[in-house]
Amino acid sequence: MAPAPTERDLRLDLFRGIALWLIFLDHIPSNAVSWITIRNYGFSDATEIFVFISGYTAAFVYGRAMREHGFIVASARVLKRAWQIYVAHVFLFAIYLAEIAYVAHSFENPLYTEEMGVRDFLQNPDVTILQALLLKFKPVNMDVLPLYIVLLLWFAPTLWLLLRAPSFALIASAVIYSLTWWFGWSIPAYPRGTWVFNPFAWQLLFVFGAWCALGGAQRLARWLNSPVIFGFAVVYLVFAFSIAMTWYFPRLGAFVPNFVGEAIYPIDKPNLDVLRILHFLSLAVITVWFIPRAWLVLKSPVFWPAIVCGQHSLETFCLGVFLAFAGHFVFTEVSNRLLMHVIVSIAGIAIMVAAAALVSWYRRVERRGPGPRPPAIKPGYAGSDA
Amino acid sequence: MTGRVLLSLALLMLAGAANSQNLAEHPAECRVAEQLIERDFPLPHVTRALAAKRLNILVVGAGSSQLPGPNGVKNAYPARLQNALSQKLPGVAVTVSTDVKSRRTAAEMVKTLVPALAAAKPALMVWQTGTVDAMQSTDIDQFKVALDKGINSARSAGADVVLINAQYSPRTESMIALGIYAETMRWVALQQEVPVFDRFSIMKLWADLGTFDLYSATKKLDIAEHVHDCIGRLLGDLVLESAKPDEPRAEGIR
């Protein structure tokens, strides 16, 4: 296998940063600004981008660790990362508890007696908090991190296989994906139902990202530069766009032949529908076509805000979830005018950028260490997020 | 769903004048949501019941189909539906019976459906569901199965079906993930050719336009009663429009 490129691909950070912004915008309920996010114009959404790029960067960072320091050290690193994410998730859960407890005590409206049943779980916190710690009870919009944790827990052996037999590892991942669809594998949730993002299905995108990072992208280069593939991608995006328009303008639905509707619906997000994968891949093909890796503009200050967010994805993601809670709180307590939606959305992204910049600064300071001479640590290895 | 609301805002401006005639009978606050009433599928049993001058409706629902208080039953949307239909249908005996109990999932409602249908002998079953399923995060497949089962039971009992989705509840929006349940309901409705009364989008439009303050923390019932009254009226419109015999459907502005 060709050696993986040693310099971090800024396009990954850029698009992961943008994906984090979109996830934030989508997580504020009824946010008018979320009208601009990609989920409204096709089948896939920012989650696909996030999971793929996370797989890519995880392989990039831990792949090098595994080559240089062996399986044990790399696995330990991966597990440490999974632990960090777990802690972050629990922290977010605490914030969620605070929010719901506040609403439970401050809100009363005879119209919504049924809906106020959401606070029932506060009556037996022994069960719910335990279930939350076991990642079985997951409040709204807190499903991505548990998925990430499970993907990382399984990542060390996957990476081991990817480094030795990349094609085989990718095929194995696709087989698990197919078997998941065939047998309906899933992870149970509390109080009932299953995980919103089924790890058995979503691992495919994560492993595919990792495969691309470890040389797969070069292998695909011939395909990615083919005008035929580009054409397919464009046609598919146009198709997805036209279907998406029928969600908002139901009258257009009359133009969709019945057999098409029968074939595509329901588009299964928990199990990462094939239509969603294809949509993501088409987006990726077009992006790679127009934005070359060495594009100098990537280093310009225009893209810096998104790139810095993408480079500190865990912190930015968690902050985004918190800010989405806070944004919703502003809508309900202060104002729900369109202007407020715009202000909250822009302010939220600005805060995410500022926080990412701060984390970035901290890392630089810590790396410099207390001594007079900075210890030599390779960039993109110890310092960056996977 | 935001899209649908935005669309209807746009349509309102375009079509307000054209539609003002048939809107005039409604109290002002309801009118704004009229664009969201869909008339996609016929209700043949209701059409026949109207011809026979006797219309029985069974409302099956959970907590959001009722109001608290001594006048709760009288002011909740099932009774308001009966009122609205009676006014619009002089000479037709309209009865609305209810099987409403809070905190029930779709599957739980289906369990008692057959005896309830046998007792009420309705030409139409109005089925409000989805909120409790979303709150308890019922498995989506089980929710879908329950919807299909309920619709089939109603059909074999000789009744048409209108589905009602969840309420728009701004305060709890970040805590109840309604999306996938609403989408599943829409998908089942499309497959089964059943109209959906899109209560969510209608109430969202009311909130966006400031028709009703759905944010207020209050114990007072006035807004809740208004909302239910409007829902009853708009639901009545949906039933009548869908059951209209011999008229091309879904041609006008929706």
Is pLDDT above 90 for A264? Answer: no
Using left for φ > 0, alpha for ψ between -120 and 50, and beta otherwise, residue B26 falls in beta
Is pLDDT above 90 for A104? Answer: no
The closest CB to that of B137, out of A29, A106, A192, belongs to A192
Which residues, numbered 84 to 113 in chain A, qualify as contacts with chain B under a Cβ-Cβ cut-off of 8 Å? 99-100, 103, 106-113
Q: Is A116 on the interface with B (CB under 8 A)?
A: yes
Q: List the domain boundaries for chain A.
A: 10-367
pLDDT in the model for residue B19: 40
Closest residue in A to B225 (Cα–Cα): A111
**DSSP secondary structure, B139-196, as one string:** -HHHHHHHHHHHHHHHHHTT-EEEEE-PPP-GGGTTT---HHHHHHHHHHHHHHT--E
Is pLDDT above 50 for A232? Answer: yes
C-alpha distance from A129 to closest chain B C-alpha (Å): 16
Please tell me the distance from the alpha carbon of residue A157 to that of residue A39, in angstroms, as a whole number: 33
pLDDT band at B252 (very low <50, low <70, confident <90, very high): very low
Q: Is the bond into B245 cis (omega within 30 degrees of 0)?
A: no
* ipTM for the whole complex: 0.84
pLDDT band at A1 (very low <50, low <70, confident <90, very high): very low
C-alpha distance from A103 to closest chain B C-alpha (Å): 8
Of the residues A33, A43, A109, A262, the best mutation for testing chain B's interface (the one with the most B CB atoms within 10 Å of its CB) is A109
Which residues, numbered 18 to 37 in chain A, qualify as contacts with chain B under a Cβ-Cβ cut-off of 8 Å? 28-30, 32, 34-35
Please tell me the distance from the alpha carbon of residue A37 to that of residue A33, in angstroms, as a whole number: 8
Closest CA to B122 of B155, B92, B148, B74: B155
pLDDT in the model for residue B123: 97
pTM of this structure: 0.86
Q: Which residues of A284-313 are buried (b: 16+ CB within 10 A; e: fewer)?
A: bbeebeeeeeeeeebeeeebbbbbbbbbbb
Lowest mean per-residue pLDDT among A85-94, A257-266, B138-147: A257-266
Strand duo B93-100 + B54-61: pairing = parallel
Give contacts of A103 with chain B, Cβ < 8 Å: 171-172, 175
Name B245's Cβ contacts closer than 8 Å, sequence gap at least 6.
Answer: B47, B50, B51
Q: Which residues of B188-201 are buried (b: 16+ CB within 10 A; e: fewer)?
A: bbbbeebbbbbbbb
Is pLDDT above 60 for A139? Answer: yes
C-alpha distance from A279 to closest chain B C-alpha (Å): 20
Is pLDDT above 80 for A103? Answer: no
Q: Is the bond into A191 cis (omega within 30 degrees of 0)?
A: yes
Please tell me the distance from the alpha carbon of residue A241 to that of residue A279, in angstroms, as a whole number: 10
The closest CB to that of A113, out of B102, B190, B250, belongs to B102
Average pLDDT (B132-159) is 94
pLDDT band at A8 (very low <50, low <70, confident <90, very high): confident
Contact between B68 and A113 using a beta-carbon 8 Å cutoff: yes
Average pLDDT (A149-170) is 96
Fold of B2-243: Rossmann fold (3.40.50)
Q: Is A42 on the interface with B (CB under 8 A)?
A: no
pLDDT in the model for residue A5: 53
Contact between A30 and B7 using a beta-carbon 8 Å cutoff: no
Give contacts of A331 with chain B, Cβ < 8 Å: 170
3-state helix, strand, coil in chain B (%, to 5): 55, 10, 35
Please tell me the distance from the alpha carbon of residue B148 to that of residue B192, in angstroms, as a whole number: 8
Q: Provide the edge-to-edge strand list for the sheet that holds B196-197.
A: B93-100, B54-61, B124-128, B160-164, B196-197
